[in-house]
Amino acid sequence: MLEILWYALSFVVTLGILVAFHEFGHFWVARRCGVKVLTFSIGFGRPVWQRKAKDGTVYQVSIIPLGGYVRMLDERVDDVPDALKGVSFNAQSVYKRFAIVAAGPIANFVLAVAVLWLMFGVGVPTVKPVVGEVEPDSIAEEAGIQKGSEILYIDDVETYDWQQVQLGLMSAIGNEQTTITLRTTDQEEVTRVLNIENWQFDPETESTFGSLGISVYQPEVYTVLARVEADSPAALAGLKEGDDVLAIDGQRIDDWRSLQQRIAESPGALLDVLVLRDGEKTTVPVKIGERDTENGVIGYLGVAPKTDALPEGYVYNHQYGVFSGLLKGAEKTWELMVVSVKMIGKLLTGDVSVKNLAGPLSIAEGAGVSASNGFVYFLSFLALLSVNLGIINLLPLPVLDGGHLMFYCIEWLKGKPVSERVQDICYRIGGMLVFALMALAISNDIIRFAF
């Protein structure tokens, strides 16, 4: 229940920030163009908070947090006295109206740059994208990718972490091939071409790089005990640091995962643990402890394994200075914009399944998870959503900002506005298309979470 509340709160905060910036873009440019703004609202429906400024603009927060709006004086919907006709929206030149409408999506792109600037200024704990195991007969193996290589670029996307690898591969979906630049264990830069013409990728069950046969590098983990916690079941039974676990109740232990599984499925059990200690085999009776988890009671021992050291610089803080961070934020925003446009195009051509469309439940989950992981991860998620909101609003559908901009472009070319009858028909068609997309996204959410 607490998790659901956290997701809901994260969703409201995230959407509130995005909508506030988007609508403020419309509001700010409208005021600079001399248009009278009647209402600035975050959310729809009945206001839960409202304040009227001296200039007559009503600022409010409404009960349904799924968007917002800026209502401007407009002769098409308002009775405008002659004295105020000059400050109505419809009385402005096509250039001013274009600027006012375009300002919303542009504000989202500016927000993404600012958020990423802050994120890179704070610093992002980062793991280098070093290849772990490469599955036999996989696309990665056929391309000659080797274990231990560091992924530097996917086509023209710089891959300084696994999120960037995911971004680059998502951009390549639907292509016949993609080029990966790697740094081998011999510190040599090489390129490999992956044949992805028949690449099958299910985002519900696997990562992009996992579906290609690439796993994240993990240091070798041994069955030797590197640490035994004080007062733990292991310590009480007499297990010691340096013990190499060979078998449990006569069952051979070949790797640490097997040991973990055996312990987890034996809460409260008395097990004979065979270890190699100082060159001699010793059997130690151990009473396995019990621990409550979301999935029920599991057993625990209270030990940690010996592992190989991580490669130098494998984990680092990805951080930039003030000016370089701003440039990096702008570069990252542009990358996200390009990938978003490509993904929309691939949805239209069928290269990407419509099952990938996410609705409010998925967004809420993403907001909650990113916020739980830390401030910088929430900033990254916020920037991604802000870019997507800006791109989607620029689609040439009449009920979106892009649809209005399309009408203004036609008006500029023809020298006169598109007739209200044609606009009305287009608005109806656009509304149905947007509603259908929303219904599809919500149904995807329901299937994803219910099943």
Q: Which residues are catalytic?
A: 23
Measured torsion, CA atoms of residues 363, 369, 373, 379, in degrees rounded to the nearest 10: 10
Cβ neighbour number for residue 33 with a 10 Å cutoff: 18
Q: At residue 127, what are phi and psi to the nearest 5 degrees?
A: -110, 125
Structure tokens that stand for 80 in this block: 């405008």
